[in-house]
Amino acid sequence: MKYGLVMEGGAMRGIFTCGVTDVLMENGISFDGSVGVSAGACFGCNYKSKQNGRSIRYNLRFCKDKRYCSFRSLFRTGDMFGAEFCYHTIPEKLDPFANEVFENNPMSFYVVATDITTGKPVYHNCHIATGSTLEWIRASASMPLAARIVEIDGRKFLDGGISDSIPLKFMESAGYDKNVVILTQPRDYIKKPSRSDSLVKLFYKKYPQLVKAYSRRPKMYNEQLKHVRKSEAEGNAFVIAPPDILPIGHVTHDPEIMLEAYRIGRNAARERLAELKKFLAD
C-alpha cells in the first residue's frame, strides 16, 4: 500500500494548504509520495524538506516586499512574483531551504508544469533541491499573463494548473493506492470560464495548444472534482477543503488575511485529524 499527498494550486489560496500541511507534519504524518501544482508545488516542497512553518513564515515576512510580489516586479522583470527573489534570494539566503533534508527524504515529490507547445501536463520528480528543481517549481507556478515562460531543457512551460489542476489521477496511475487531497476551494465549488480567456488567446497566439488547454480548464477542473469525490466515496481518497470560499485572493499584501487563511487550513486539518489517521491506518 502506497500513500500519496495531492496539493492543488491557487496562488495565495495555497496559504490554506500551508496550514493543513503544518498540522500534518506536527503530527508526524508521512507519505510515500506527493505532488504539487503551482502554489502547491511552491509551498509543498517544504513537506519533503520537513520545514514545518516555513511557508507561512516567509510569506508573512515578505508579503509587502515589492521584490516578492508586485506590479512593479511584473513590469520590470515579467514576473509578478519575482523569480530571482522568490527562487534564489529567499531559499538561499533569507530563509534557507533544507536542501540536505529534502534530498535525503525518501518521499517522492512531483511538480506539474504545462508544456505550452503541446498544452499537456508534464510531471517532474524532484530529487535534488537546487538548480533544475527550482526551475521546475517556478514553471509550475508561472501563471499566464503574470509570469514569463520558463524554458527547461529546450522546452517551454507555464503553470501546471492549466493542464492538470488536481493531479489525483496521476498519483493513482503512479501506483499510490490511497491519497490525501488538499483543495483550496470548497467541495461544492464549480469553476466558470475565465474573464482572461481573450487576453490569453491574444498574448499566446503562437501557442494554440496552450490557448486551447486554458479555455478547456473549467471543464477539466470540474471533471477532476467529480473524480476526487468518486475516489473519496470508494475509500481511496481523503479530502481536506476549506468550508467556504477563502478570504484571500490570488495576491494579497495583508499579513492578517494570510494568517486567517492559514488558520482556516490548520482548523480544517485539526477537525479531521482522527479521521485522517484512521484512513491512513486502514
pTM of model > 0.95:
yes
Distance between CA atoms of residues 36 and 42, nearest Å: 8
C-alpha cell at 16: 490554506
- For 155-175, the pLDDT digits (tens) are 999 999 999 999 999 999 999
CA dist 66 to 72, 93, 184, 206, 237, Å? 7, 17, 25, 31, 39
Length of the chain: 282
- For 36-87, the pLDDT digits (tens) are 999 999 999 999 999 999 999 999 999 999 999 999 999 999 999 999 999 9
Sign of CA dihedral 170, 171, 175, 178: negative
Residue 129 has a pLDDT of: 83
Place of cell 512531483: 110
CA dist 136 to 16, 45, 87, 230, Å? 22, 11, 11, 30
Distance between CA atoms of residues 173 and 185, nearest Å: 24
Residue type, 208: P
Sign of CA dihedral 240, 112, 90, 81: negative
